[in-house]
Amino acid sequence: MTWRKFFENYMLVINAMGDAWPEARRRVVLLHCLGPEGQRLFYTLPNQGTTFAEAMTALENHFVPKVNVVACRHTFRQRVQRADETVTQYVAALRALAAPCDFGIMEGEMIRDQLVANANLSVVKDKLLLEEDLTLDKAVTIACQVEAVVKNATLLSAAPTAQTAAVQAVEVKDARLRGKRGARPGQARGPTSKEWHKKASDKEQQRHCFRCGSEKHLANDKNCPAVKVKCDIPI
């Protein structure tokens, strides 16, 4: 039915003065707007008629598909609001799905009920259920307001305060300094295993006999030449 709305808008533009066109002229304008391919298809249709109304009926019978109302209503009821979808976008999608459902005067109430039952935010559902004499327009207004409040509250809670930002900056600076200079000043660090073994090895190499100065034995060694010399001295 979109093509019909486009044509009606076109008729309003070219007939802006409000002059009533005769049926034959409106029919000619309709066929002209169809273009060559549309006209070729139109002339293959049965019951083309001679007036604008008859031509429009023939086109609608050809282009408008047979609608399964039960299937369309099932699809409508299964539609829920997505997490990345606003209330306005969700209601617009419901309007499009409700068009072939043949709800009649109940269309607004059906869309309203669908919004209450399948809104993404539970706080929206709770707020709508508390309202009396809830119409579709009122439900959309309230849902949009609640949605905006929740969004702003989320942004405020996620934004760091000035004091928190200052503390985080100091912590980052300290972490960078530790990465460049190693341990903090004043923090004692014991020798590693490799350093301890090296010092022990150096100490071992520095040990020697204080009697004869030999590095091969210590002073308590019985085979030290200084001990033998001392023993050979007559008393």
Helix 136-158 to helix 87-98 angle (10° resolution) is: 150
Structure confidence by residue, pLDDT tens digits, 154-164:
888 776 655 66
What pLDDT does 116 receive? Answer: 95
Q: What's at 124, amino acid-wise?
A: V
Q: Around Cβ 134, how many Cβ atoms within 10 Å? A: 17
Position 42, amino acid:
F
Q: Quote the pTM value.
A: 0.51
Helix (H) or strand (E) holding 175: helix 162-181
What is the pLDDT at residue 74? Answer: 95
Contact 128, 142 (CB under 8 A): yes
Q: Each residue of 99-144: pLDDT tens digit?
A: 889 899 999 999 999 999 999 999 999 999 999 899 999 999 999 9
Coil, helix or strand at residue 87: helix
All residue ranges of the chain with pLDDT < 70 are 1-21, 64-65, 159-208, 210, 213, 215-219, 221, 226-235
Angle at 110 between CA 62 and CA 71, to 5 degrees: 45
Q: What is the pLDDT of residue 235?
A: 46
What is the model's pLDDT at position 35?
Answer: 78
Among 113, 28, 102, CA closest to 68:
102
The first and second tokens of residue 67, run together, are 């609608």
The full set of domain ranges for the chain reads 2-63, 69-153
Contacts of 145 (CB under 8 A, 6+ apart): none
